[in-house]
């Protein structure tokens, strides 16, 4: 007699189905006090995606009063593809077939990050790795030596069996030289990341400034239109756009 079916298995599927497949597996796992891997295993074994597709016609009957999308025959989207940020392909198309669930979740969390944010994260990871390496590659003194077993070779004869061991020796000077070379490459990459971040941050500042100029220009135009509509003969409103310099202290 097989093991009884865990009732949370069907409950997990129902939670996921009610969300139309959009609820994250880790959220379902937290709700049912289970591990992420267990929910992911049930999803694969019970073929949740196939069952969701089989329920599409049922879900459509609940939204017959409000249809989404372009009317029949509409060709406005031809040649343009889905709107920017559309996640249909990510959740149900090409990516979901070949990319692991954990990777898809990470991609979803990164959608709201700008390129500058991504590079900043890389800077922090790179710098943390450099600091951590100080402890791992630390050499106490010049006479320190590390002996590690590399491989063991067994041999058999009429008199019995014997083993031959091969060791690898790492001397302090060799370890220190390897560490310095690796650290130099890591620091070079860190400097490159910082340079890229500063350039992108500057571009973001320029973009925000342009958006602010556009907003002020629109406000000025609206104010002048309101004055003309009210019959005022006052002089047109002037809005001075001044970019803050580094010496302003703000």
- Say yes or no to pLDDT of 171 above 70: yes
Domain-wise residue ranges, the chain: 7-52+92-112, 116-154+162-230
- Band (pLDDT 50/70/90 cuts) for residue 162 is confident
| CB-CB contact of 6 with 39 (8 Å) | no
CA distance 22 to 91: 8
pLDDT of residue 215 exceeding 60, the answer is: yes
Secondary structure of 134-187 in the HEC alphabet?
Answer: HHHCCCCCCCCEEEEEEEEEEEEECCEEEEEEEEEEEEHHHHHHHHHHHHHHHH
Mean of pLDDT over the chain? 75
The residue behind tokens 């900043």 is: 120
Q: What angle do CA 236, 239, 243 make, to 5 degrees?
A: 160
pLDDT of residue 1: 46
Check residue 2 and give its pLDDT. 52
- How many C-alpha atoms does 118 have within 13 Å on its Cβ side? 10
Tokens (6 digits) for 115: 């390129």
Range from 75-89, 154-168, 196-210 carrying the lowest mean pLDDT: 75-89
Q: Is the dihedral of CA 93, 97, 99, 103 positive or negative?
A: positive
Helices (H), 47-110: 48-54, 56-60, 88-92, 94-98, 101-109
pLDDT more than 90, % of the chain = 4
- Give residue-wise pLDDT tens across range 54-82: 765 454 445 444 444 455 555 454 445 44
Instruction: Output the pLDDT for position 233.
Output: 52
Specify burial of residue 169 (Cβ count, 10 A radius: 0-12, 13-18, 19+).
exposed
Residue 36 has pLDDT above 50, yes or no: yes
DSSP state at residue 80 = T
């Amino acid at each position: 007699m097989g093991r009884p079916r865990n009732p949370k298995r069907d409950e997990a599927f129902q939670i996921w189905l009610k969300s139309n497949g959009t609820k994250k597996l880790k959220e379902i796992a937290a709700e049912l006090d289970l591990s992420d891997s267990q929910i992911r295993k049930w999803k694969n074994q019970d073929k949740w995606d196939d069952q969701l597709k089989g329920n599409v016609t049922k879900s459509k009957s609940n939204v017959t009063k409000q249809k989404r999308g372009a009317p029949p025959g509409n060709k406005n989207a031809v040649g343009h593809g889905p709107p920017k940020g559309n996640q249909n392909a990510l959740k149900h198309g090409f990516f979901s077939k070949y990319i692991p669930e954990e990777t898809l979740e990470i991609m979803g969390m990164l959608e709201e990050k700008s390129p500058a944010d991504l590079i900043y994260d890389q800077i922090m990871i790179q710098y943390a790795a450099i600091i951590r390496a100080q402890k791992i590659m630390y050499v106490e003194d010049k006479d320190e030596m590390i002996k590690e077993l590399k491989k063991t070779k067994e041999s058999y004869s009429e008199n019995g069996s014997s083993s031959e061991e091969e060791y690898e020796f790492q001397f302090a000077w060799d370890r220190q030289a390897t560490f310095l070379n690796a650290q130099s490459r890591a620091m070079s990459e860190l400097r490159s990341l910082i340079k890229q971040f500063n350039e992108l941050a500057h571009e973001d500042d320029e973009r925000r400034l342009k958006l602010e100029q556009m907003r002020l220009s629109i406000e000025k135009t609206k104010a002048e239109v309101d004055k003309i509509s009210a019959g005022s003969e006052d002089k047109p409103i002037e809005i001075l756009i001044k970019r803050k310099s580094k010496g302003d202290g703000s």
